[in-house]
Amino acid sequence: MKRLFGIVLSAFLLACSNPQEEAERLIDAMGETAQAGGDAVVDTSGWQQKWTVLQAAANSTDQDSLWARYQMISADIQASVPGGALYAIRTYFQVADSLPSRQEGALALFSAAVTFEEKLSDRGRAIQVLTMLVDRYPGTHMAETALAYRDVLVFENDESLLDKIHEWQTQESPPTP
């Protein structure tokens, strides 16, 4: 089945001549699958073909916003593949470093932090990346979101922060001499 999908996708790619049109059709198909109740990014069958289409589109565009769009989606696909999290993080950082003054750069850093936390269970690195985002984009909506997420990562381990505060409040204070 996977082989048949690969052959059909390859034939589709050869039939299309514009890499950006191919990428947009792929993105639309992934979106339709997600809306229909499936999970377009988690389905890793054909991920290499999808990644190739998106990279070709990114390399063929001269618009920064389209380049970032295709790179970010290809990184999302990489992150969904077992063993692909570090490749995804590298791609997110390429976007962030290439577009340091644009909102796509902030989104790329946030995506890298989420990938560190969710795919690699590395809270320390996730917190470092969120701090980098706040430092690079102070006062932005993404910085506020990053601060909130960083607080969750720092203070939420086995119990919630509110549970810990409640415990501290209910503990008896030590006797005074």
Give the CA diameter of the chain.
86
Q: Which CATH superfamily is domain 3-7+46-166 in?
A: Tetratricopeptide repeat domain (1.25.40.10)
- The confidence score (pLDDT) of residue 124 equals 94
Q: Please, what is the angle between helix 85-98 and helix 103-120, to 10°?
A: 160
Give the angle subtended at the CA of 24 by the CAs of 20 and 28, to the nearest 5°: 170
pLDDT digits (tens, 9 = 90+) for 27-81: 888 887 777 765 544 556 788 888 888 888 888 888 888 899 989 999 999 998 9
Q: Residue 136: exposed, middle, or buried by beta-carbon count in 10 A (0-12, 13-18, 19+)? A: middle
Closest residue by Cα to residue 137 from 175, 91, 88, 104: 104
Residue 176 one-letter amino acid: T
Q: What is the pTM of this model?
A: 0.73
Q: Please, what is the angle between helix 141-155 and helix 123-136, to 10°?
A: 150
- The confidence score (pLDDT) of residue 136 equals 96
Does 22 or 172 have the greater pLDDT score? 22
pLDDT digits (tens, 9 = 90+) for 86-141: 999 999 999 999 999 999 999 999 999 999 999 999 999 999 999 999 999 999 99
